[in-house]
Amino acid sequence: MIKITFILCQIFLSLLFSQDYYGAMKNVGKISENGADIIIYYDNKGVRAYMHNYDNRYDNTSFYLFGRGDKNDKSLQLRSLIASEGSYWDGGVYILEFLDDRNRILINGNRLAKPLVLLKNDKDSRRILGEPLKIEDIIVDESYFEEYQGRQLKLYKYEKSGFGESLASLNNLILTKKLSPKAIKNFDSDPILVAAFLFSENGLFSLSTSTLKKYEKNIYKDGSYIVDPNFKGYTYKTCGDDYDPEEDYEGKCKTLNFYQNTSFSGDIVLIEVEIHSTCMDDSCSHEYHQLRLFNNSKVDRNYGGGWYLISHKSGVRCDELRGGGSPPCL
């Protein structure tokens, strides 16, 4: 009876997702022993993978990979989160190509000195590197699984310094308990508040002097405007509601929206930020940012736990509920 139950469980799990394992080792048992392995999972959301690059003389690097695709694809292009020596960062796109009827895999990406060629179900890799990560333990950013349906959006890496230092300062304030217990709890649990803190600390507005209200995401659906309940966040205004827009010739009064799409449930949180200046035209654009934050809450803050800024991109976006006008709002 127990054996039958086990078999039924295995069949059920195989319907939920399938997986492939590849690996390769060099100089086994020697001082320069090194290798890599990867476990790839396919489910109804797409592809999730975990790759471990191992060297017994240097640091080990972990690659969390995720994106669209299925088990019949001959190649995959996956986004990546890289972890090494207690740090996390966006590793860009990694390309996986299946060779020889899927008995080998070629992996290429920025962090790799040269492409890796791994063998399917390699026994030495599994014995030395251990059991691979389970699908539920792979860190993902589910926002990358979605197709953007709006106007074309071009974002670039935010080059101004200061955000990483401000986040390190916040983590230290939490670690040393130099904030109130309530503030620590709020920052630990609210990535939107963390993003607002970073913008305030870097001089884009002031948390202490701006007015605050709940953010509402208005969308046009079925012939009318409605509030999308999937979005939550905060709206900060640097001027009072009674200011006269027509007198703000220099656009000093700003409205900043910080929000998150709560329908995404991945470990990496996408925070979107809009910075609106006074605009009286029929068509307006605004400064737009995407911050991806990761809270390594499973690890003690003394040993690498806390918030990490995985990536920060920015650009110019048109007001979504207004159209026409000059570039970029065509």
Confidence band of 14 (pLDDT split at 50, 70, 90): very low
Nearest-10 crossing angle of helices 191-201, 181-189: 110
Instruction: Residue 74: name the closest of 95, 97, 45, 93 by CA.
Output: 97
Query: Amino acid identity, residue 208?
Result: S
Tokens 């890599």, residue located:
36
Q: What is the pTM of this model?
A: 0.86
Backbone phi, psi, residue 81, to 5°: -120, 125
% helix / strand / coil in the chain, to the nearest 5? 20, 40, 40
**Phi, psi angle pair for 160, to nearest 5°:** -70, 135
Strand partners, 39: 21, 50
- Is 323's pLDDT higher than 90? no
| pLDDT mean across residues, the chain | 88
| pLDDT single digits (tens) 150-164 | 556 789 999 999 999
User: What pLDDT does residue 315 have?
Assistant: 92
Q: How far apart are CA 70 and CA 81, in angstroms?
A: 20
Helix ranges (DSSP H) in the chain: 2-16, 123-129, 163-175, 181-189, 191-201
pLDDT digits (tens, 9 = 90+) for 96-125: 999 999 999 999 999 898 999 999 999 999
- Closest by Cα among 281, 185, 165, 286 to 235: 286
Name the H helices within 202-315: none
Q: What is the pLDDT of residue 124?
A: 93
Res 209 pLDDT > 50: yes
pLDDT at residue 1 is higher than 70: no
Top-confidence range, 6-20, 143-157, 240-254, 293-307: 293-307
Contact 171, 184 (CB under 8 A): no
Percentage of the chain lying above the pLDDT 70 cut: 89
Q: In the predicted model, what is the mean pLDDT of residues 187-214? A: 96
Compare 320 and 71 and report the one with higher pLDDT: 71
* Band of pLDDT at residue 327, cut at 50, 70 and 90: low
Give the CA distances from residue 215 to residues 228, 256, 313, in Å, rounded to whole numbers and listed in that order.
Answer: 11, 10, 21
